[in-house]
Amino acid sequence: MIRYFFKGTIQFLTAFHIGAPGSIKERVDNPVLTDVYDNPVIPGSSLKGLIRSCAERSAKTLGLKACGIFYKAEDSRLENGKHCATTFTSEEKAQLNKRLQDIEAGRATDEDEKGQDTLTCLKKSLCHACRLFGSPYHASRIKFPDPALIIESWVNRLERRDGVGIDRDSGLAVDGVKYDFQIVPAGVQYTFEADGEDLDKNDLALLGSALLEMANGSLSLGGKKSRGLGRFRLENPEVASIDLNNDQDFWLFLSGEREKFQWVQARDFFEPYIMGKLADLSKG
Rank residues 67 and 108 by Cβ distance to Zn ion and give the closer one.
Answer: 67
Pair 202, 182: CB distance under 8 Å: no
Count of other CB atoms within 10 angstroms of residue 117: 11
User: Of 7 and 131, which CB lies nearer to Zn ion in the complex structure?
Assistant: 131
Q: Residues touching Zn ion: how many (CB under 5 A)? A: 5
Does 84 contact Zn ion by CB under 5 A? yes
The one-letter amino acid at 153: S
Q: Round to whole Å and give the CA distance between 23 and 41.
A: 14
- Taking the complex as a whole, how short is the minimal distance between the CB of residue 194 and Zn ion, in angstroms? 20
> Angle at CA 30, nearest 5°, toward 57 and 150?
65
- 64 sits near Zn ion (criterion: CB under 5 A): no
Of 67 and 214, which has the nearer Cβ to Zn ion? 67
Enumerate the H helices of 38-78 as residue ranges: 44-59
Q: CB of 65 within 8 A of CB of 76?
A: yes
Q: Kindly state the smallest distance separating residue 84's Cβ from Zn ion, in Å.
A: 3
- Residue 27 Cα to chain centre, angstroms: 33
Which one, 42 or 85, has the nearer CB to Zn ion?
A: 85
CB closer to Zn ion out of 122 and 240: 122
Decide if residue 219 touches Zn ion (CB under 5 A): no
- Given candidates 32, 33, 59, 67, which one binds Zn ion under the rule CB under 5 A? 67
Cβ at position 136, least distance to Zn ion in Å: 10
Which range touches Zn ion (CB under 5 A), out of 31-39, 42-50, 85-93, 183-191?
85-93
Shortest reach from residue 212's CB to Zn ion, in Å? 22
Region binding Zn ion by CB under 5 A among candidate stretches 79-87, 90-98, 151-159, 219-227: 79-87
Least distance from C-beta 128 to Zn ion, angstroms?
8
Chain length of the chain: 284
Q: How far is the CB of 1 from Zn ion (least distance, A)?
A: 24
Q: Which residue, 138, 131, 144, is CA-closest to 49?
A: 144
Minimum distance of Zn ion from residue 44's CB (angstroms): 21
Under the criterion CB under 5 A, does residue 59 sit at the interface with Zn ion? no
Site string for Zn ion, 118-147 (x = CB under 5 A): ---------x--x-----------------
How far apart are the two ends of the chain, measured CA to CA in Å?
Answer: 31
The H or E element containing residue 190 is strand 189-197
Write out the DSSP string of 224-265. -GGGTTTEEEEEEEEEEEEETTSHHHHHHHHHT-GGGS--EE
Nearest Cα neighbor of 261 from 238, 240, 236, 237 is 240
Binding site residues, Zn ion, CB under 5 A: 67, 84, 86, 127, 130
